[in-house]
Chains A and B, each alone.
Chain A
Amino acid sequence: MEFKIKAIVIDKNGLHRTITRLAHEIIERNSGATNLAIIGIRTRGVTIAERLVKQIEIIENKQVPFGILDITLYRDDFRMRLKQPAVRATEISFNIDDMNLILVDDVMYTGRTSRAALDALMDIGRPATIQLAVLVDRGHRELPIQPDYVGKAMPTSIGEEVRVLLSEVDNDECVLLVEASEEV
């Protein structure tokens, strides 16, 4: 992928520290890891969610349930996009009723992805609470949705993009601010 890098927002070590801090905040706010579950939004939200699960396990010595949410069928721009995203499966194998769910995404932008994710979760069950954790909040909200846990809040311009690179999927490990690419 060709893109012009404007700044490295979080480097490799920073990424590890940020995720560790998010894990601590989640446990603190929920008074432990009981009745807690982590749900990652495809694609990079899943990787961050997996790391949060590992961190929480290290801190609390407790394995929290983990699920994967695919929101493609819930998008409000599904029919408008030039390039159709692939429909993939949601993998949540436990009952989410009355649980405290931590919904995890990489970058928070317009809020439309989070809106779709909330609708998708409501069709699966009735959780006690849903809390939103994001690695980067880049602003420009179009809907009244705010994250509960933020790795880094960062003002951006519309012409910029935030790229999260994670070693599990990208061969690199950092958060970059880049010039927006032409493709939609």
Chain B
Amino acid sequence: MALSSSHLLGLEGVPAADITTILNTAENIKTIFDRPIPKVPTLRGITVVNLFFEASTRTRISFELAEKRLSADTVNFSTSTSSVKKGETLKDTVRNIEAMKINMIVVRHSAAGVPYFLTQCTDANIINAGDGQHEHPTQALLDMMTLREKWGQLAGKKVAIIGDVMHSRVAGSNIRGLLTMGAEVMVCGPRTLIPPGMTEFGANVSYSVDEAMQWADALNVLRIQHERQEKGLFPSIREYHAEFGITRERVERAKKELIIMHPGPINRGVEMDSDVADSDASIILEQVTNGVAVRMAVLVLLSGMDTANE
């Protein structure tokens, strides 16, 4: 049941068998949450460092909870309180932390490729919690787990990713993972926010959200960051909402059962209306619960693996 890599850097090149192992493990681990003591001793004696060079609330809390429910020791490191501010290089920071005898590193950084770089300078198992505009594999895994719970399988299903695909690592990992699992993917958003080469990558492209909703079984709605508008990538928040916002009118007009997801945090009234986010079609809170289970599964599966062979 072992995975084929001792790190989780992204979903690119991760075989379907590995993704299935992670999702199955996560589903079984999830049953622990309902127990009086929702904790198991599996990672006793393992120290995990949460190395967050970029602001994060839910991903960090989700990882920390996952680590604690597995009885690992956790250390949190964030740039605002660290010597990174004093000018220490990334390599020195990591070498110093590793000298304190730690086993696993969960890393988030604004630069793509940092998790890979860490594998070259430490022996710890590395888990990518988001690197630049590249990948956010545990988010895609929890999205896939939540969809698989609804559908039983991912193969043959259609998922539309709506919004700022260009800058989204959530989209980056979801597209790779879903295609590996045999699902069909469509990306949809303003032309300025859809990167070139999506068709070659295996995804369909649409610039009409109504068309995407007709096509899809599920929507994964990305967060719109206000600074993108300041850079002139779309005219105004109001216009974005009018053209691409998931409104109740659009959902009703689609006349079909759609599953609606969002990686959070939601800009209510921008990419998604409040009554859609809180409707029965929305599985946003299930995504959050599954996030802890998926991260526990990844930690458990990687903890048994030696990094020396990679």
Does B300 belong to the interface (CB within 8 Å)? yes
**A74-B41, A79-B304, A83-B1 given; A124·B29 CB < 8 A:** no
Interface contacts (Cβ under 8 Å), in number, total 53
Within 8 A of B (CB), among A78-104: 78-79, 81, 83-91
> Which residues in A have their C-beta under 8 angstroms from that of B1?
83-87
Query: How many of chain B's residues have a CB under 8 angstroms from any CB in A?
Result: 24
Docked-complex contact B42 and A73, CB < 8 angstroms: yes
**A73-B41, A74-B42, A84-B2 given; A89·B31 CB < 8 A:** yes
Interface string of B185-221 (1 = CB under 8 A from A): 0000000000000000000000000000000000000
Docked-complex contact A87 and B297, CB < 8 angstroms: yes
**A74-B41, A86-B1, A123-B37 given; A81·B31 CB < 8 A:** no
> Which residues in A have their C-beta under 8 angstroms from that of B300?
73, 87
Docked-complex contact A79 and B303, CB < 8 angstroms: yes
The DSSP consensus for interface residues of chain A is: loop
Does B40 belong to the interface (CB within 8 Å)? yes
> Which residues in A have their C-beta under 8 angstroms from that of B86?
none
Using a CB–CB distance below 8 Å, which chain A residues touch chain B? 70, 73-74, 78-79, 81, 83-91, 119-120, 123-125
For this complex, 25 residue pairs linking A to B, each with C-beta atoms less than 8 Å apart, are A73-B29, A73-B32, A73-B42, A78-B304, A79-B46, A79-B303, A83-B2, A84-B1, A84-B301, A84-B304, A86-B1, A86-B24, A86-B25, A87-B1, A87-B25, A87-B29, A88-B28, A89-B28, A89-B31, A119-B41, A120-B40, A123-B36, A123-B37, A123-B39, A124-B36
